[in-house]
Chains A and B, each alone.
Chain A
Amino acid sequence: MDREKVLQALREAQAEYNIENLDEFTKQAWEEGNILDAEIVAELTERAVEILFDQHFLWVHIIESEDCEEWIPDGWYSFVAVHPKTHQCLTVLEDPVYSWESRASFSARIRSAEDAIDAVTRLAELIEQNLKGRAVE
């Protein structure tokens, strides 16, 4: 996935969410454990991927937390994407031997702008592979 395209998609998504500094915003969401900001980080990641593909997907995301009781985000996120027309799960990473152990979700750490670039790149690559056929571990 071309880094310049990913950067452009993230810039567009940032503008939609009125975020001036992505690095500060993602750091703040993690360091301050702000669940609402973490929600925006997850949505922004999804939106950047949609901009890259120029189409909408159906999403479920989970903001991971180390402390389940306090529910403080730890900077890790999980995503499930489904194609709205074919209903194909686009975040499946197939286990080549035991297909039922294939993972349905994609996980990434997003604690900085660089992490966000990496997450969008890897998520987009996984979706691209699944759109072409099957992504195999």
Chain B
Amino acid sequence: MQLEQLPYTEEQIKQAIEEAWQELLQEADAEDYSLEEYLEHYRKYWDDPDFPNDIPEIIMRAVEEIVGRPLSWYCELVRDPAGFTGEYSFVVVDPKTQKCLTYREYTSDGVNVHRFIHVAGTVVDYEGIVRLVTKLLNQIQSALADA
């Protein structure tokens, strides 16, 4: 899939998420285990430090599948004093140009410019993954269009 084919559909996003999950299973040489089953465990043990958190990998593999090429990225699992909040914060960089694709800015009052270099979202279920992949794709598409 090439960049020119964007925008993407929700169906494509869901397919890319499933493909990302299958890839991870194959790499881990794991038995057949559905994403739904994984997310069920995730909901129970997400703040357990020993729980293998594959959410960032699933999200970025799905994004890369739709964008059509690998991207450099960095993900922070957002915490507060009580522990992991369920929020993931991504910085995505185009390896070809080194441009930060998650850079955004807006003015709240027409004077002050607020700048961000990350895109964040909370994932507690499958819909959360779809929402965050969509949010990242929208931002990346907009950054690539500005280039």
Q: Which residues of A contact B (CB under 8 A)?
A: 35, 58-60, 62, 67-69, 71, 78, 80, 82, 84, 86-89, 92, 94, 99-105, 130, 134
The chain B residue with its CB closest to the CB of A86 is B99
Given A80-B117, A103-B72, A104-B74: A92 touches B84 (CB 8 Å cut-off): no
Given A69-B49, A100-B72, A104-B91: A130 touches B117 (CB 8 Å cut-off): no
Residues of A within 8 A of B97 (CB): 88
The chain B residue with its CB closest to the CB of A80 is B91
Q: Which residues of B contact A (CB under 8 A)?
A: 47-49, 69-74, 76-77, 79, 81, 83-84, 89, 91, 93, 95-100, 103, 115-118, 143
Which of A58, A92, A130 is the one whose CB lies under 8 Å from B72? A92
A23–chain B nearest beta-carbon distance, Å: 27
Q: How far apart are the CA atoms of A62 and B95 in the complex, in Å?
A: 21
**In the bound complex, do residue B72 and residue A104 qualify as a contact, i.e. CB atoms below 8 Å apart?**
yes
Total number of A-B contacts with CB less than 8 angstroms?
A: 76
Q: Is the interface of A mostly helix, strand, loop or mixed?
A: mixed
Residues of A within 8 A of B143 (CB): 87
5 intermolecular pairs with C-beta atoms under 8 Å apart: A88-B97, A88-B100, A102-B72, A104-B93, A105-B74
Residues of A within 8 A of B84 (CB): 68
Which of A60, A89, A102 is the one whose CB lies under 8 Å from B89? A60
**In the bound complex, do residue B47 and residue A89 qualify as a contact, i.e. CB atoms below 8 Å apart?**
no
Q: How far apart are the CA atoms of A86 and B94 in the complex, in Å?
A: 13
**In the bound complex, do residue A71 and residue B117 qualify as a contact, i.e. CB atoms below 8 Å apart?**
no
Q: How far apart are the CA atoms of A3 and B102 in the complex, in Å?
A: 34
B34–chain A nearest beta-carbon distance, Å: 26
Residues of A within 8 A of B91 (CB): 60, 80, 82, 89, 104-105
**In the bound complex, do residue B95 and residue A58 qualify as a contact, i.e. CB atoms below 8 Å apart?**
no
Residues of A within 8 A of B71 (CB): 100
Given A67-B49, A89-B99, A89-B100: A60 touches B76 (CB 8 Å cut-off): yes
Residues of A within 8 A of B70 (CB): 100-101
Residues of B within 8 A of A92 (CB): 72, 93, 95, 98
Residues of B within 8 A of A134 (CB): 98
**In the bound complex, do residue A102 and residue B95 qualify as a contact, i.e. CB atoms below 8 Å apart?**
yes
